[in-house]
Amino acid sequence: MRKKENNHGIFSAGQKTLWRALRPSIWTLKSDPSHENPALSILRTLHDQPRWLEPYHLYDERGSQLFEQICELPEYYLTRTEDSILTEKAAEIIAAAPVECIVELGAGTSKKTMHLLREQVRLRKGGTFAPIDVSLRSLLASRDTVKRRFRQLTFHGLCSRYEEGISSVDTSLPTLFVFLGSTVGNFNRSEFTRFFLHLSRSMGPKDFLLLGTDRVKEVEILEKAYNDSQGVTADFILNVFVSINRLTKGNFDLKKMRYHSWYNPEWQQIEMYAISTATQEIHFPSYKTFFVWEKDDRILVEISRKFEPLRLQRQLQLFGLNPVGHFTDANEWFSLLLFRKSVS
What's the pLDDT score for residue 197? 97
What range does the domain containing 91 cover?
75-217+307-341
Whether residue 13 is contained in a domain is answered as: no
Q: How does pLDDT run across 135-159, given as a tens digit for each residue?
A: 888 899 999 999 999 999 999 999 9
Confidence of residue 36 (pLDDT cuts 50, 70, 90): low
Please enumerate in sequence order all residues whose Cβ is within 8 A of that of 180, keeping only pairs 6 or more positions apart, or say none.
82, 104, 106, 112, 113, 210, 212
Domain assignment present for residue 57? The answer is yes
In whole angstroms, give the CA distance from residue 248 to residue 243: 9
Q: In this structure, are 282 and 261 located in the same domain?
A: yes
Question: Residues near 311 by Cβ (< 8 Å), separated by ≥ 6?
Answer: none
Q: Is 230 found in the same domain as 116? A: no
Q: Is 29 domain-assigned?
A: no
Q: What is the pLDDT of residue 3?
A: 38
What would the mean pLDDT of 40-50 be, rounded to a whole number? 95
pLDDT digits (tens, 9 = 90+) for 183-235: 999 999 999 999 999 999 999 999 999 999 999 999 999 999 999 999 999 99
Judge whether residue 5 has pLDDT over 50: no
pLDDT tier at 32, thresholds 50, 70, 90: low
Q: Are residues 268 and 141 in the same domain?
A: no
CB 177 within 8 A of CB 209: yes
- Supply the pTM of this predicted model: 0.93
60: pLDDT confidence band, cut at 50, 70 and 90? confident
Q: Which of 217, 241, 238 minimizes the C-alpha distance to 227?
A: 238
Using the predicted structure, report yes or no on whether residue 35 has a pLDDT greater than 80: no
**pLDDT on residue 34:** 55
> Could you tell me which of 267, 40, 257, 26 has the C-alpha nearest to residue 147?
26
The pLDDT of residue 268 is above 80: yes
Q: Give the DSSP letter string of 282-323.
A: EEEGGGTEEEEE-TT-EEEEEEEE-B-HHHHHHHHHTTTEEE
Note whether residue 30 is domain-resident. Answer: no
Query: Are 210 and 317 part of one and the same domain?
Result: yes
188/68 same-domain check: no
Q: Note whether residue 23 is domain-resident.
A: no
What is the pLDDT averaged over residues 54-70? 90
Together in a domain, 238 and 270? yes
83-126 residue pLDDT tens: 999 999 999 999 999 999 999 998 888 899 999 999 999 999 99
Q: How many domains does the chain have?
A: 2
Question: Within this chain, do residues 195 and 222 fall inside the same structural domain, yes or no?
Answer: no
Does residue 113 lie within any of the structural domains?
Answer: yes
As a whole-number percent, the residues of the chain with pLDDT over 70 amount to 96
